[in-house]
Amino acid sequence: MASVAEIRRELNALNAADTEYAIRFVDTLLAAAQEAAASDVHLQPVSGGLGVRWRLDGVLQELGVFPAGESANVVARLKVLAELLTYRTDVPQEGRIREQRGDTEMRVSTFPTLHGERAVVRLFAAQQHFRHVADLGFPAELAAAVCELLRETSGALIISGPAGSGKTTTAYACLRELVRGAAGGKSIVALEDPIEVAVDGVAQAQVNEHAGFDLTVGLRSLMRQDPEAIFVGEIRDRGVAETVFQAALTGHLVLTTFHAGSAAGAISRLVDMEIEPYLLRSGILAILNQRLVRRLCSCARPVTGEDGRLGLPVRAAYQATGCDKCRQTGYLQRLVLAEMLTADRSELGRAILSRAEASQLEELAIRNGMVPAWRRALEAVEGAQTSPSEVRRVFGFARMPSGSV
């Protein structure tokens, strides 16, 4: 596996005067990103050239700054591959690279900035990876519970978490699980903005807000298409949320994603969006909340002293060091830390109806058997799977919820 320095040298070795420089630059960069399993590649025009970074295991790493004169051509090459309008540099655009590059899906987004167009390429997991729920790395009991919920005939399964927490990957794995379990016997439809991965066996539609085809309108129309399972890319506003719960309460299994810091926090956010608590109590099957932390490489060494534990109540901890195997980062791949709140518990249901605070909902959920993500994080630290600094990077320094330890 090539190091960042080797990739930088390879890109710098390309001749900027060559008429095919942009083509070779993009091909080299995307091939390296695939090999490194990067999730995003950022190309940012700056005063001194084209700054290139990629996101590896959730963290941006700089690859270098390359010739300024060719920055527009490199972005234009990406736009050609993604079938975007090369002559429009004054408006944001989004597209997909349809050309087969291994088995990795790629989406391109452009945005006009002071020094020229910025481009971000998002690379989705190769098709053989993370295909089904069992491949995601959830604890066995949690994976089994999710698969059991996917066999239900009505209700909403909400996958929540902050940006970059793997919600989309989990959602598509659940979709494939639905297709596999149905064996062609169910009508499964999806409404997305945008479609990020094509899933065989699912009728996928992409919204077009300029034509008046938004998530709310599309979802209402989909409900007249005789579906049994519906995937809604994301709950973004009250209208979408209300339609999701109407579908969940009228005999449809609904799978969707939602931005929230915790499972209990997702309920509070929905209440803040003025969704009636009785819809939440009756319509939610479960809320799966997840975070991704980097997994320690085998070169990790034990932490000595209390300071290295960063205030975490753990008996042992390990810290990243760095080696050639992990490109000197100290980490290889990522670990999912998840919690799942089910709303069918009578005590918890009453708390939802009374609009209880997120902290109270979380305490009740833990009392009723939910293993909080914080507790899984502490177990991962003690098990040398991740480091205290990584847990603090992802979870912050906020007070741990009651019952987390």
Q: Is residue 265 part of a domain?
A: no
* pLDDT (0 to 100) of residue 101: 66
Closest CA to 310 of 392, 251, 239, 206: 392
> Rounded CA gap, 326 and 188, in Å?
40
Residue-number span of the structural domain to which 364 is assigned: 286-405
The CATH code of the domain that includes 224 is 3.40.50.300
**Cβ atoms of 41 and 33 closer than 8 Å:** yes
* pLDDT (0 to 100) of residue 3: 78
Tens-level pLDDT at each residue, the chain (405 residues): 677 888 999 999 999 889 999 999 999 999 999 988 899 999 999 988 999 999 999 899 999 999 877 788 999 999 999 999 999 999 999 998 876 666 678 999 999 999 899 999 999 865 556 689 999 999 999 999 999 999 999 999 999 999 989 999 999 999 999 999 988 889 999 999 888 888 999 999 998 888 889 888 998 898 889 999 999 999 999 999 999 999 999 999 999 999 999 999 999 999 999 999 999 999 999 999 999 999 999 999 999 888 889 999 999 999 999 998 888 889 999 999 999 999 876 789 899 999 999 999 999 999 989 999 999 999 999 999 999 999 999 998 776 655 555
Q: What residues does 46 pair with on adjacent strands? A: 49
Q: Residue 86, by phi and psi: left (phi above 0), alpha (psi -120 to 50) or beta?
A: alpha
Residue 253 and residue 324 in one domain: no
pTM: 0.88
Q: Is residue 278 part of a domain?
A: no
Chain-centroid distance, C-alpha 316: 30
Residue 98 and residue 139 in one domain: no
* pLDDT (0 to 100) of residue 194: 83
Q: Domain count of the chain? A: 3
Encoding tokens for residue 244? 């999701």
